[in-house]
Amino acid sequence: MTSPPVALSSPAAAPIITLDDVLAARERFDHAIYTSPCTHSQTLSRTTGLDIFLKLENLQMTGSFKERGALNRIATLTVDEAANGVIAASAGNHAQGVAYHATQRGIRSVIVMPLTTPLVKVTATRNFGAEVILHGANYDEACTEATRLCHAQGMTFIHPFDDALVIAGQGTIGLELLEQIENLEAVVVPIGGGGLIGGIGCAIKEIKPAIRVIGVQTARLPSMLQALSEHHPVTLDPATTIADGIAVRRAGDLTLPLVARYVDEIVTVEEDEIAFAILTLLEREKTLAEGAGAAALAACLQHRTGLPAGTHTAVLVCGGNIDVTLLSRIIERGLVQDGRLIRLRIHLLDKPGALLELTQLIAGHRINIVDTVHNRAYYGVNLGDTSIDITLETRGRDQVEELLAALTAAHYRHSRVL
């Protein structure tokens, strides 16, 4: 079940980064980071009731915001540290950000990735110039190996979120938002380990504290929510989610105080809601987002943020590196949920012309047949009868209901196949 919004309070402890750290990160970038567009969406504004602006970090060179923090950390290496190289553990976006910017500066990079990492991500990381080591069944085991190699070879470990310089680098997004959106009133940001929202929250709240900062986590791994509840990071049990970019089992030790200080509330979203947001971005905005990249919009589409109508709201589309196989499943599932793809099981007499009569009825409602499967021995079919599973493309739920009513009127026994 989706968790209700959690309001946060600010602790007295000094934050690990300041606005000056974020401003310094921006100076270090020296045009090496793309100032991603922040586009206004009339369609999503009508749908959500908010005034929606999409911050398209999926258009970065490596497909996500992660390269901001990676570059800020790499840019501060000493001469000796740069000579020894950098190392990271990652199964995706952080790996590519570190690899790309290290290579751009002529620095050796080693990325330890779990054995289960999809080949497309391994290949992309290698193409950006990193030495990839496949080790362990999951991120935790890969991180342990990366830490061992780091000590053994004297390299610099670049953490994906629990590093002050990485956090400050991510915070540069907040500076851009303040410049790009006039009268900005709210920012909705996905949360994994907390580095992204910690940096953005610091940048925005230190300049304009009245702007609301809202975090979004997947309901399957709400590690930051749990950490706030327990007042310290806790490790959650493993869980699978399509938002793998924010599938962090333990919130950061450095990011937790930042979230408590700068984030107004955190909400969670379900898997189907994230999938729907991915499909909405693709179909309505012609924008490709991964699961984590669509989580913030999912919260807005489901009216979870509690923001008043018309609020000038920036929504982070923080990444677009999604596996095409997963994307195809998300599209198909989204069409099913929207009523535009439906499978029916229809019983009819096993006689010449019976199928023709059925297809003529369907064609009369301007519905397209995608696939058919006949069954004569299953599903309790009577002798002399047949059952047909038929997959249909429709314009939506209203057209489906019209067809179902027509089938009933024509005395066809039918049911939906889930």
The amino acid occupying position 144 is T
pLDDT digits (tens, 9 = 90+) for 337-368: 888 999 999 988 878 888 899 999 999 999 99
Distance CA 260, CA 16 (A): 12
Percent of the chain's residues with pLDDT above 70: 94
pLDDT digits (tens, 9 = 90+) for 398-418: 999 999 999 999 999 899 887
pLDDT digits (tens, 9 = 90+) for 204-252: 999 999 999 999 999 999 999 999 999 999 999 989 899 988 999 999 9
Structural domain includes residue 78: no
- 191 and 132 in a common domain: no
pLDDT of residue 39: 97
Task: Give the DSSP per-residue string, 280-329.
Answer: HHHHHS-----HHHHHHHHHHHTT-S-PPTT-EEEEEE-B----HHHHHH
Q: What is the mean pLDDT of the chain?
A: 92
Distance CA 276, CA 335 (A): 9
**CA-atom Rg of the chain in angstroms:** 25
Structural domain includes residue 358: yes
| Model pTM score | 0.87
Residue 240: Cβ-neighbour burial (10 angstroms; 0-12, 13-18, 19+): exposed
pLDDT digits (tens, 9 = 90+) for 278-294: 999 999 999 999 999 99
Q: At 3, is the pLDDT very low, low, confident or very high (cuts 50, 70, 90)? A: very low
Distance CA 301, CA 175 (A): 25
| Residues 87, 70 contacting (CB under 8 angstroms) | no
pLDDT of residue 1: 40
- 130 and 102 in a common domain: yes
Domain boundary among 284, 307, 333: 333
- 168 and 113 in a common domain: no
Number of neighbouring beta carbons within 10 Å of residue 383: 6
Q: At 119, is the pLDDT very low, low, confident or very high (cuts 50, 70, 90)? A: confident
Structural domain includes residue 74: no
Number of neighbouring beta carbons within 10 Å of residue 78: 9
| Residues 298, 242 contacting (CB under 8 angstroms) | no
**What residues make up the domain containing 365?**
340-416
Question: Residues 281-305, buried b or exposed e (16+ Cβ, 10 A)?
Answer: bbeebebbbbbbbbbbbbbbbbebb
Helix or strand run (H / E) with residue 374: strand 368-375
Distance CA 161, CA 385 (A): 62
Three-class SS state of 256: helix
Q: Which residue has the tokens 């490709």?
A: 288
- 210 and 168 in a common domain: yes
Three-class SS state of 151: helix
Q: Which of 78, 79, 116, 118 is nearest to 96 (CA)?
A: 118
pLDDT digits (tens, 9 = 90+) for 57-94: 999 999 999 999 999 999 999 999 999 999 999 878 99
Distance CA 167, CA 199 (A): 5
Q: How far is CA 85 from CA 78, 138, 328, 418, in A?
A: 11, 24, 38, 52
Q: How big is the chain, counted in residues?
A: 418
Domain boundary among 296, 316, 333: 333
Residue 192 reports pLDDT greater than 90 = yes
Domain boundary among 130, 154, 178: 154
Q: Which of 163, 211, 152 is nearest to 187 (CA)?
A: 211
